[in-house]
Amino acid sequence: MNKIRVLAAGSLRLVWPVLVDAFEKQHPPLTVETLFGPAGLLRQRFEQGERCDLFASANVAHPHTLLQEGNALSVSVFTSNRLCLTLLPHLKARSPLDLLSDPNLRIATSTPLSDPSGDYTWQLFDRIEQQHPEVGNGLKKRALQLVGGAQSSPVPPDEVAGCWLLKTGQADIFIGYRSYAQRVEQDRAFALVDLPESWQIRADYAFAMCEAKARPLANFLLSPRAQEILQASGFDQIRKGHPLAL
């Protein structure tokens, strides 16, 4: 009765234990049990009967769908993220446009529809196409959807997807979340390159409170302490004026 079951986006895996530890210290005897995975696939599992008290997604669309279906009591945005490139150090001196335009470089992404990271990446390609005709559409054709899908090889639990793909020789560049920057930059075998602001896609994260017992955790995720933890881990502040940011 005191356990809150959470389905959470895989990109929260590194920061979530810190959040849960702070929450449990504030709210004994409540405990949190969490299953991580691509948010789109987790939503499917929930809709097929997986038990869930709180669903934490890397986008707003999946929680909002649960609300519309009558499977959630409320939805709130609690943090946000951005995209960047993870690559090998010798490539870092080149511009993002030069890197992504090079047909000799293998570009890896997450899987659209199954994982919001893939959806955001395809939005990025559309934005690039608007500014650099043929480049964005070319990226859609070249991109290797190597993680985040139902049939994708699982990323080892102690690995960051981009680093793992590069280390195992599956890609030269990975387009993923900037919240992994601290972890990536700790390893000199990899480098990180930010995208131009005019390309940038803002990834808002939202949770759906599916059962009333999750209300203490929902309130905590919006608290100054949780926001402090998220920002220290590389996530961005909640966007002011967002209709779901309480």
Is position 220 within any domain? yes
- Residues 22, 49: one domain? yes
The 10s digit of each residue's pLDDT in 112-162 is 999 999 999 999 999 999 999 999 999 999 999 999 999 999 999 889 999
243 — pLDDT class (breaks 50, 70, 90): low
- Residues 163, 101: one domain? yes
Is position 29 within any domain? yes
- Residues 89, 181: one domain? yes
Residue 7 belongs to what domain range? 3-81+203-232
What is the count of structural domains for the chain? 2
Is position 133 within any domain? yes
- Residues 211, 181: one domain? no
pLDDT at 240 over 70: no
The 10s digit of each residue's pLDDT in 59-74 is 999 999 999 999 999 9
Is position 183 within any domain? yes
Is position 172 within any domain? yes
| pTM of the predicted structure, to 2 decimals | 0.94
**Which residue in the block uniquely carries the two structure tokens 């985040």?**
148
Is position 245 within any domain? no
